[in-house]
Structure 1
Amino acid sequence: KELSSQVPINDTSPPDITFVQPNSPDALVAIKTYDIFVNITDDNPPLQGDVIIRVSNQSTILFNSPMILIINSIWRFTWNNITSYPNQQNYTLRVWAKDSSPNKNSEWSEEYFIFVSIPSSPGKLQDVINIIFISILFASVMVFLNKKVLGKSGKKKRKRIK
């Protein structure tokens, strides 16, 4: 009987994953860097490296990335390069977590959808093109005015000669 009391009871429940941010499905993302937070609770909390976020569009898994434990049971993923993915699209977020019990229970979160709509701003190339255009326009105006001034001064000289 003593031996049976020493046998550990195995944890059979998977981690419970709740999105903190986005805080509602179909969230709108309009910034170039977005933090995603989840709250993961379990009797045997996940260890670093045992929580992964999956980002996909309608047809393709774009990437999986580890999440970072920031405090207590809150995990974070910072999506830094959103602008390298197509704008004006829906993306699906899912989080997978594995607890630290001997059974290594794991679970996927529900799907969360975000809509990425980042206002476009002119890039450096557009700035260079604008500067070149303004320079050409300015030079053209200067040439035009120069011809008018030179043309008038040439007529005055001819009149004096006659």
Structure 2
Amino acid sequence: MKKVLMLTLVLLLAFSNLVFAAPSESEVIASFKSYVDKEVKKALVSYETNNQMIFIIDRPQPPDWLKPPFWRIVHFTLNGKYNIDLRKNDSLIRPYIGILKIDKVNYYEDFSSKEAAEQCASPKYRDTKRYTFSIAYQEDKWVVTKVELQYNGDLKTNSIYDVLKIEPKVGYLH
């Protein structure tokens, strides 16, 4: 009986690393894709209502713009298409690093009156903001470690949603 018990304990110890093992690469890949997809979809929902803003600009602008005051309409969009990449890392704390690249695209146009701005359904100018998120796999979850806005440098945040969601700007007139 002792031999059976000892053999059982030895087998349990031998196979316990399989039970408590780290997730497989395919599980990590699926987890990363799911995390990014969920966060982007959550941000896209914020664009379903109130995705435009009309406000007055009353200070001088570059020479080719209208003279102030003038009205600007902005339509906010988030490109639902994005690029991801995932690589193994030598770190024991963050064994995988994921990259998400996504664009926020705002369309805008300037008008001499608020009424003219309100009539505009498709502003003709485009402003694209390209974001690159670095996301680490840490303690069995994904953590945003860095957000970079092309041409502007790093942003301080720890959430994909917080960067990508639509947010009314304080001080603009609607």
Give the TM bin, normalised by the shorter chain. under 0.3
Name the TM-score, length of structure 2 as normaliser.
0.26
Which structure has more relative contact order (CA 8 Å, sep 6+)? It is 1
Greater gyration radius:
1
